[in-house]
C-alpha cells in the first residue's frame, strides 16, 4: 500500500468534522455534499473486498427514491447480491475514520478479512441521473486507483443493471453477457418467447403507461425500446427532461400517498405503473370508471407471479419446493390468499431486502416482494438445471411446453435483485398469457384497510422486537398493551418497530374498516409515546 499516495488523495476528499454515518440495507445515504469522502473510501473498500473474494465487486452511486439533493452508495457482492453483513461494519468503520487513522483502519480490515494486497482487484461502477452523481463516482475512481484496482465505469445505469453485469462477470458469462446490450437482449428474447404463446391480441392489452420518476428508468427504457416487438406499446412519462427526480412521482410517492403521480394523465381502466428513482421497485395502479384510484402493490405482484409459477410447476410434475417470503408489512389478506386459496407456504422475515433474499434461497422457487414493490424470484441451481433439461428431453408435449415457459421466466427474471423493468415484463407477459385485465388482477383479493404512522422517540433502541418484528420484547408492557388494543377490532393486527436510520418508531395497523385501522394505529402510537419515551407533543388522531 502506497501510504504517501493514500495520504495525498485522502486529503483531496476530506471528511467533514463530526460527521458519522452508518452503512445500512440501502448502503450510505445523506445529502450529496456530505458524501465526497465516503465515495473515495468506498472505492478503497471495493478494492479490498475484490481482493478478499478474488472477484469483481460493484459500486452503485444512487439514493434511490430519496429527494434529488441526496445521494448514496452501495456495494454489490460477486453474484449481484448485497454486501456481506460483516463488510457492512468495515464500510461504517472506514467511512467514519479520521484522516490520520485511515491507513490503520485499512490495515485492520486486511488482517480481519485476510486480504492479500498483492492480489488483483476489479470494480464495476454505475450511477443514477442525480446532478451530483458524476462527480461522486469520480471520487470512487480515485479510491480504486490509489489501491491499484482495475475498474470499468458503466456510467448511467439502473441499479439492477449493475447487479446484473457484476453477476455475469463473475459467472464467466453463464448468467449472461456483462453489457447493457446483453441485458436488453436476454430480457427481450425471453419476453418475446413468452408472449408468442398468448392468445389475447387485443390492442388495449398491450398499452402501458410508465411513470419513470424523472430518473434513470426513462433513459434505459428508451434504449431498450428497439428490442421490443411492435405490439408492446409503452408510453414513458416523467422522463427527467422537465421535473426533479422523485418529486411528486415514482413508486414510493404513489405507494405512500395512494395517488397517481404528477405528469401522468390516467383514463379509466388504463394500466399504469411507476418505477422508483433507480428502477429497482415497481407498483401498478389504475382508476376505475367512478374515478377511484386502485393501487396494486408488491403483495399483489407476488401473488400474480405465484399463481402463474404454481400452475407451471404443477404441469411439469416435479417435486419442486415453492415458497413466498413476506415481511410484517404484507397485507393480511394477501397472506391469507396465498396460504388458503393458493396453498403456497408463506414465510415472514424481518424488514429489509437482504432478509427476504436470504430466506427465498431456501426454496427451489422462492418468490419475495416487499409491499413497496421491491422484489424478485429466485430459482435453485437444481431446479434451473432440471427445468432446462426437461425443455431438451421431455417427450410429453404439455410438460415440455410448461418447462419451456419456466425456462423463459428464469431468463426474464433478474434473480440478483428487484428490477422494475424485468418485473414489469414478467407482469405484462403473465397478464397477456392469462388474458387478465388490470381490474381482474386487482380483484384476486381485497386489501384489508391499514395505516402506517411514526412516533418520534428520544432513543429508538429502547424498542427491541422478535418474531420477524411482529412482537415487541421491550419496553416492558408495550406488547401486552398492543395485544389488548388489537382485541377491540375485527380482523385486526398491529406491530411496532424501530426505524433503521432515525429516532422514530414505525407503527402498522390493519382492521376490517379504514376507521378501525386508523383508530387502532392511533391508540398504538399513544402507547409507544408513553411507554417508549416519545418526544414532543403526544400523537393526535
Which of 296, 328, 350 terminates a domain? The answer is 296
Whether 498 has a binding-site annotation, put simply, is yes
Whether 27 has a binding-site annotation, put simply, is no
Q: How confident is the model at residue 204 (pLDDT cuts 50, 70, 90)?
A: very low
Q: How confident is the model at residue 458 (pLDDT cuts 50, 70, 90)?
A: very high
User: If you count DSSP H runs as helices and E runs as strands, how many of each does the chain have, helices first?
Assistant: 19, 19
Residue 161 maps to a domain: no
If asked whether residues 16 and 140 sit together in one domain, one would say: yes
In this structure, the chain runs to a length of 541
If asked whether residues 222 and 325 sit together in one domain, one would say: no
Q: How confident is the model at residue 200 (pLDDT cuts 50, 70, 90)?
A: low
Q: What is the CATH number of the domain that holds 262?
A: 3.40.120
Whether 66 has a binding-site annotation, put simply, is no
Whether 327 has a binding-site annotation, put simply, is no
Residue 10 maps to a domain: yes
Q: How confident is the model at residue 367 (pLDDT cuts 50, 70, 90)?
A: very high
If asked whether residues 304 and 280 sit together in one domain, one would say: no
Whether 229 has a binding-site annotation, put simply, is no
Residue 426 maps to a domain: no
If asked whether residues 144 and 10 sit together in one domain, one would say: yes
pLDDT (0 to 100) of residue 206 = 76
Residue 318 maps to a domain: yes
Residue 199: pLDDT over 80: no
Number of domains forming the structure of the chain = 4
Residue with cell 429489509: 352
d(CA 432, CA 311): 15
List active site positions.
Answer: 64
Q: What is the CATH number of the domain that holds 47?
A: 3.40.120.10
Q: Which of 280, 267, 237, 206 is nearest to 429 (CA)?
A: 206
Residue 174 maps to a domain: no
Residue 509 maps to a domain: yes
Q: How confident is the model at residue 1 (pLDDT cuts 50, 70, 90)?
A: confident
Q: Quote the percentage of the chain above a pLDDT of 70.
A: 99
If asked whether residues 128 and 231 sit together in one domain, one would say: no
Q: Which of 266, 196, 200 is nearest to 408 (CA)?
A: 196
Residue 311 maps to a domain: yes
Strands (E), 178-243: 207-211, 233-237
If asked whether residues 258 and 349 sit together in one domain, one would say: no
Q: Which domain holds residue 207?
A: 182-296
Q: Which of 251, 237, 209 is nearest to 65 (CA)?
A: 251
If asked whether residues 287 and 399 sit together in one domain, one would say: no
pLDDT (0 to 100) of residue 198 = 80
What is the mean predicted confidence (pLDDT) over 457-477?
A: 95
Q: Is 380 exposed, middle or buried (0-12, 13-18, 19+ CB in 10 A)?
A: middle
Q: How confident is the model at residue 228 (pLDDT cuts 50, 70, 90)?
A: confident
If asked whether residues 199 and 334 sit together in one domain, one would say: no
Which of 242, 263, 296 terminates a domain? The answer is 296
pLDDT (0 to 100) of residue 500 = 75
Q: What is the CATH number of the domain that holds 486?
A: 3.30.310.50
- pLDDT, tens only, 391-419: 999 999 999 999 999 999 999 999 999 99
Whether 64 has a binding-site annotation, put simply, is yes
Q: Is 130 helix (H, G, I), strand (E, B) or coil?
A: coil
pLDDT (0 to 100) of residue 232 = 79
Whether 372 has a binding-site annotation, put simply, is yes
If asked whether residues 317 and 253 sit together in one domain, one would say: no
pLDDT (0 to 100) of residue 346 = 98
Max CA separation in the chain (angstroms) = 71
pLDDT (0 to 100) of residue 205 = 55
pLDDT (0 to 100) of residue 2 = 86
pLDDT (0 to 100) of residue 201 = 52
d(CA 277, CA 251): 8
Q: Which of 470, 541, 475 is nearest to 506 (CA)?
A: 470
Q: Which of 468, 467, 465, 517 is nearest to 492 (CA)?
A: 517
Whether 500 has a binding-site annotation, put simply, is yes
Element spanning 286, H or E: strand 282-287
Q: Which of 338, 295, 313 is nearest to 402 (CA)?
A: 313
Please indicate, yes or no, whether the overall pTM of this predicted structure exceeds 0.85. yes
If asked whether residues 146 and 124 sit together in one domain, one would say: yes
If asked whether residues 150 and 272 sit together in one domain, one would say: no
Q: What is the mean pLDDT of the chain?
A: 95
If asked whether residues 280 and 194 sit together in one domain, one would say: yes
What is the mean predicted confidence (pLDDT) over 196-222?
A: 83
Residue 340 maps to a domain: yes
Which of 102, 121, 156 terminates a domain? The answer is 156
Q: Which whole-number Å values give the CA distances from 68 to 213, 245, 253, 257, in the listed order?
A: 11, 5, 14, 19
- pLDDT, tens only, 113-126: 999 999 999 999 99
Whether 370 has a binding-site annotation, put simply, is yes
| Sequence-distant (≥ 6) Cβ neighbours of residue 101 within 8 angstroms | none
Q: Is 365 exposed, middle or buried (0-12, 13-18, 19+ CB in 10 A)?
A: buried
Q: Is 249 left (phi over 0), alpha (psi -120 to 50) or beta?
A: beta
- pLDDT, tens only, 46-105: 999 999 999 999 999 999 989 999 999 999 999 999 999 999 999 999 999 999 999 999
Q: How confident is the model at residue 258 (pLDDT cuts 50, 70, 90)?
A: confident
Amino acid at each position: 500500500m502506497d501510504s504517501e499516495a493514500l495520504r495525498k488523495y485522502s486529503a483531496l476528499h476530506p471528511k467533514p468534522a463530526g460527521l458519522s454515518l452508518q452503512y445500512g440495507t440501502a448502503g450510505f445515504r445523506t445529502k450529496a455534499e456530505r458524501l465526497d469522502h465516503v465515495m473515495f473510501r468506498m472505492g478503497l473498500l471495493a478494492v479490498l473486498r475484490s481482493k478478499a473474494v478474488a472477484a469483481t465487486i460493484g459500486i452503485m452511486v444512487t439514493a434511490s427514491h430519496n429527494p434529488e439533493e441526496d445521494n448514496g452508495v452501495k456495494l454489490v457482492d460477486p453474484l449481484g447480491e448485497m454486501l456481506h453483513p460483516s463488510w457492512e461494519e468495515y464500510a461504517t468503520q472506514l467511512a467514519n475514520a479520521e484522516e490520520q487513522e485511515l491507513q490503520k483502519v485499512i490495515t485492520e480490515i486486511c488482517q480481519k478479512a485476510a486480504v492479500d494486497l498483492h492480489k488483483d482487484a476489479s470494480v464495476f461502477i454505475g450511477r443514477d441521473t442525480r446532478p451530483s452523481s458524476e462527480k461522486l463516482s469520480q471520487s470512487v475512481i480515485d479510491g480504486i486507483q490509489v489501491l491499484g484496482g482495475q475498474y470499468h465505469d458503466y456510467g448511467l445505469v439502473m441499479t439492477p443493471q449493475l447487479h446484473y453485469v457484476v453477476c455475469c462477470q463473475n459467472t464467466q458469462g453463464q448468467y449472461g453477457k456483462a453489457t447493457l446490450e446483453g441485458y436488453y437482449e436476454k430480457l427481450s428474447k425471453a419476453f418475446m418467447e413468452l408472449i408468442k404463446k398468448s392468445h389475447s391480441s387485443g390492442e388495449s392489452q398491450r398499452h402501458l403507461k410508465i411513470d419513470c420518476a424523472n430518473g434513470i428508468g426513462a433513459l434505459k427504457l428508451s434504449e431498450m425500446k428497439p428490442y421490443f416487438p411492435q405490439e408492446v406499446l409503452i408510453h414513458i412519462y416523467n422522463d427527467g427532461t422537465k421535473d426533479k427526480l422523485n418529486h411528486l412521482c415514482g413508486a414510493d410517492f404513489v405507494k405512500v400517498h395512494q395517488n397517481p403521480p404528477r405528469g401522468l394523465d390516467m383514463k379509466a381502466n388504463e394500466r399504469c405503473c411507476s418505477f422508483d428513482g433507480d428502477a429497482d421497485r415497481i407498483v401498478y395502479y389504475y382508476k376505475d370508471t367512478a374515478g377511484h384510484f386502485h393501487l396494486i402493490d408488491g403483495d399483489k405482484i407476488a401473488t400474480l407471479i405465484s399463481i402463474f409459477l404454481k400452475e407451471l410447476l404443477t404441469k411439469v410434475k416435479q417435486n419442486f419446493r415453492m415458497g413466498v417470503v413476506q415481511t410484517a408489512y404484507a397485507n393480511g389478506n394477501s397472506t391469507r390468499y396465498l396460504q388458503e386459496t393458493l396453498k403456497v407456504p408463506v414465510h415472514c422475515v424481518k424488514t429489509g431486502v437482504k432478509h427476504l433474499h436470504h430466506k427465498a434461497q431456501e426454496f427451489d422457487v422462492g418468490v419475495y416482494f416487499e409491499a413497496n414493490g421491491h422484489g424478485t424470484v429466485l430459482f435453485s441451481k437444481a431446479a434451473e438445471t432440471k427445468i432446462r433439461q426437461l425443455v431438451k428431453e421431455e417427450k410429453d408435449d404439455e410438460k415440455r411446453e410448461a418447462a419451456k415457459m419456466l425456462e423463459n421466466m428464469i431468463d426474464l427474471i433478474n434473480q440478483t435483485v428487484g428490477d422494475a423493468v424485468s418485473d414489469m415484463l414478467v407482469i405484462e407477459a403473465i397478464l397477456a398469457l392469462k388474458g387478465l385485465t388490470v381490474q381482474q388482477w386487482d380483484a384476486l383479493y381485497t386489501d384489508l384497510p391499514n395505516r402506517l404512522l411514526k412516533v418520534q422517540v428520544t432513543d429508538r433502541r429502547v424498542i427491541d422486537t422478535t418474531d420477524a418484528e411482529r412482537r415487541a420484547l421491550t419496553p416492558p408492557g408495550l406488547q401486552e398493551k398492543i395485544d389488548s388494543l388489537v382485541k377491540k377490532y375485527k380482523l385486526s393486527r398491529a406491530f411496532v418497530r424501530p426505524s433503521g436510520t432515525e429516532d422514530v418508531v414505525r407503527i402498522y395497523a390493519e382492521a376490517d374498516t379504514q376507521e378501525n385501522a386508523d383508530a387502532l394505529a392511533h391508540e398504538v402510537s399513544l402507547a409507544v409515546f408513553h411507554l417508549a419515551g416519545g418526544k414532543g407533543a403526544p400523537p393526535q388522531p
